[in-house]
């Protein structure tokens, strides 16, 4: 019996040893798997950061897009558009448009009453004589007298139309600045490289390019499948409500809400960022609100001044407003966030710190909050004010008035605060912010605060609004399905020989498209001609506005190809 128990004991020990070895082996195996898993995860994460297109690309690039349908006449047209003969004719057409001083003024009266509008009759006559085929082949409607709406019916009424926009008016040239111009502001002077004059790059170039494109297509015998509409306002520089406001109403009534496939208006063109050239069509716009602040305090003789008068209190509030700016914030719908992703994926000198912050944001389910610190936005803001204000609500005190005499205390002081509202924010956030600041000053000086109710009383600070526009809806860009953004991207890469990539852009200002939000959900603010002769916007709104001729000619080619590509797109 003892021997039997001894044998059983030995077996038991052996089993315990085997079990122990199995436990140790399992522990080693699990540790190895865990370490290998971490290694793989970290390696893939690092590889994703260095090679994002290997995985889920956030900035896929469309290949250059060329129309598949063609004729001998269209082939001849493509060749003609690159010829010296066409270049010379195009120069004269744009120069002739610049020579007509279609200035719009802030204080201009109603259409039909103020004689300063009459110059637009001359401009319409010029277009009629310069583009006879457009005027004989397209239906022209004059909306609110000077708005020009051309319709080129397509053969397939089931396809939503393409709308090409521009505005006829230009900002005024003050008499005091005329002598500062290298060439007279309405001369349309051509120096062998540039066409000079007010409106040459804002935006008679785009208007003339669109008309030249349609005129050329008609001459080549082209018949569109998709209806093409040219919509030209005449008061964009002074808000656009007389022109674009009325034109948009016609289009919504005719085609229904979002009844248009795509809209292309003036806007951003080409930039060089992080060692890469980008076309950056504006797919969004910041909002706009002007807040008027009125400080009312008792008057009296200046020889017996109070400790603080209305101008001093207004100055105190201005200082407080400027000392409390808005924080940078990159909303998920802000196109600049997409541009950052494009830079991270494709640009050779994209900043490493921005790339890491982008990666961190992508890996976290919620990286930023509207009322919290946005590390990515704060870092991107260091690129400079021109970048910072693409994703920050801006504040600028632009107007101030107060007082009537040097020896009389001011009874009413007024100033205007202009805001450009960040994407992802709204006017309510602006009203809350400025009301809280005004409340501090009102309390300090025992004044009533009257925020945004339309009344005004003595001994008070009153806030009121006289212009407001919320941030624009963001146009869809990188979608699984084919979109107009893809057609625009492919056209641009084809016209410019694949030299550039395409990324979403955002406008800090507003174009006439803010009246067209109900016309189409695919709106692009895009300067289609790449002006390689100069950096920037061609001195628009200031002395020596000009445009490089090659950029203008390429804009004509762009419109021709875009119309044809849209015809073939299954949208």
Query: Catalytic residue numbers?
Result: 169, 236
**What gap in Å lies between CA 571 and CA 560, rounded to an integer?**
19
Stretch (H or E) spanning 39: helix 2-50
Which residue in this structure is represented by tokens 């991107």?
380
Q: Positive or negative CA dihedral for 295, 301, 302, 305?
A: negative
> With contact defined as beta carbons under 8 Å apart, do 44 and 36 qualify?
no
**What gap in Å lies between CA 254 and CA 129, rounded to an integer?**
28
Tokens representing residue 329 in the block: 């914030």
Residue 202 is assigned to a ligand binding site = yes
> With contact defined as beta carbons under 8 Å apart, do 293 and 435 qualify?
no
Question: Within 10 Å of residue 446's Cβ, how many Cβ atoms?
Answer: 7
Parallel/antiparallel/unpaired status of strands 460-469 and 448-451: parallel
Q: Positive or negative CA dihedral for 188, 189, 192, 198?
A: negative
The values of phi and psi at residue 163, to 5°, are: -115, 125
> With contact defined as beta carbons under 8 Å apart, do 462 and 456 qualify?
yes
DSSP letter (8 states) at residue 448: E
Residue 265 is assigned to a ligand binding site = yes
Q: Environment class of residue 31 by beta-carbon count within 10 Å: exposed (0-12), middle (13-18) or buried (19+)?
A: exposed
User: How far lies 268's CA from each of 67, 335, 463, 527, in Å?
Assistant: 25, 13, 34, 5
Q: Three-state SS for 382?
A: helix
Residue 237 is assigned to a ligand binding site = yes
Q: Three-state SS for 320?
A: helix
> With contact defined as beta carbons under 8 Å apart, do 547 and 194 qualify?
yes
| Of 139, 168, 342, 316, the residue nearest 243 (C-alpha) | 168
> With contact defined as beta carbons under 8 Å apart, do 136 and 169 qualify?
no
Alpha helix (H) ranges present in 116-228?
119-130, 132-137, 204-219
Residue 125 is assigned to a ligand binding site = no
**What gap in Å lies between CA 558 and CA 530, rounded to an integer?**
10
| Of 128, 304, 143, 134, the residue nearest 219 (C-alpha) | 134
Question: Within 10 Å of residue 221's Cβ, how many Cβ atoms?
Answer: 11
103 forms beta bridges with 170
Binding residues for Zn(2+): 167, 202, 237, 265, 541
Binding residues: 167, 202, 237, 265, 541
């Amino acid at each position: 019996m003892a021997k039997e128990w001894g044998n059983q004991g030995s077996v038991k020990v052996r089993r315990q040893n085997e079990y122990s070895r199995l436990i140790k082996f399992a522990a080693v195996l699990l540790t190895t798997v865990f370490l290998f898993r971490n290694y793989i995860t970290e390696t893939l994460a690092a590889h994703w950061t260095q090679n994002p297109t290997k995985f889920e690309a956030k900035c896929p690039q469309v290949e250059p897009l060329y129309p598949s349908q063609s004729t001998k006449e269209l082939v001849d047209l493509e060749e003609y558009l690159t010829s010296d003969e066409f270049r010379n004719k195009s120069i004269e057409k744009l120069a002739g448009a610049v020579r007509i001083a279609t200035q719009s003024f802030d204080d201009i009266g109603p259409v039909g009453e103020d004689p300063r509008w009459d110059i637009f009759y001359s401009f319409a006559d010029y277009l009629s004589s310069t583009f006879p085929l457009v005027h004989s082949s397209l239906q022209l409607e004059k909306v609110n007298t000077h708005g020009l709406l051309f319709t080129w019916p397509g053969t397939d009424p089931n396809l939503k139309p393409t709308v090409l926009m521009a505005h006829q008016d230009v900002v005024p040239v003050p008499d005091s600045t005329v002598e500062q111009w290298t060439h007279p502001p309405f001369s349309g002077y051509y120096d062998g490289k540039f066409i000079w004059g007010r409106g040459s790059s804002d935006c008679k170039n785009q208007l003339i390019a669109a008309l030249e494109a349609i005129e050329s297509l008609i001459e080549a015998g082209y018949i569109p499948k998709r209806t093409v509409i040219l919509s030209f306002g005449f008061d964009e520089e002074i808000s656009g409500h007389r022109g674009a406001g009325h034109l948009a109403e016609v289009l919504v009534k005719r085609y229904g809400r979002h009844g248009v496939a795509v809209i292309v208006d003036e806007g951003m063109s080409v930039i060089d960022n992080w060692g890469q050239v980008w076309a950056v069509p504006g797919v969004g716009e910041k909002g706009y609100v002007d807040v008027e602040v009125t400080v009312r305090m008792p008057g009296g003789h200046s020889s017996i001044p109070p400790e603080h008068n209305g101008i001093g209190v207004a100055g105190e509030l201005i200082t407080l407003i400027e000392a409390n700016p808005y924080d940078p914030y990159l909303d998920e719908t802000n196109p600049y966030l997409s541009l950052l992703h494009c830079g991270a994926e494709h640009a050779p000198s994209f900043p490493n710190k921005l790339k890491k912050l982008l990666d961190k944001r992508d890996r976290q389910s919620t990286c930023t909050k509207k009322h919290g610190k946005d590390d990515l936005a704060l870092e991107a803001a260091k690129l400079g004010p021109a970048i910072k204000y693409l994703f920050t609500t801006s504040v600028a005190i632009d107007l101030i008035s107060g007082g009537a005499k040097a020896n009389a205390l001011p009874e009413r002081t007024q100033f205007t605060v202009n805001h450009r509202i960040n994407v992802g924010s709204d006017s309510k956030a602006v009203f809350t912010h400025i009301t809280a600041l005004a409340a501090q000053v009102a309390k300090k000086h025992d004044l009533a605060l009257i925020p945004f109710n339309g009344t005004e009383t003595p001994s008070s600070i009153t806030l009121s609004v006289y212009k407001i526009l919320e941030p624009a809806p963001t146009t869809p860009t990188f979608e699984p399905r084919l979109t107009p953004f893809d057609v625009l991207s492919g056209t641009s890469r084809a016209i410019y020989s694949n030299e550039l990539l395409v990324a979403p852009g955002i406008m800090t200002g507003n174009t006439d498209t803010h009246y067209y939000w109900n016309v189409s959900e695919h709106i692009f603010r895009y300067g289609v001609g790449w002006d390689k002769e100069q950096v920037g916007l061609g001195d628009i709104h200031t002395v020596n506005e000009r445009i490089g001729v090659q950029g203008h000619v390429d804009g004509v080619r762009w419109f021709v190809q875009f119309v044809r590509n849209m015809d073939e797109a299954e949208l």
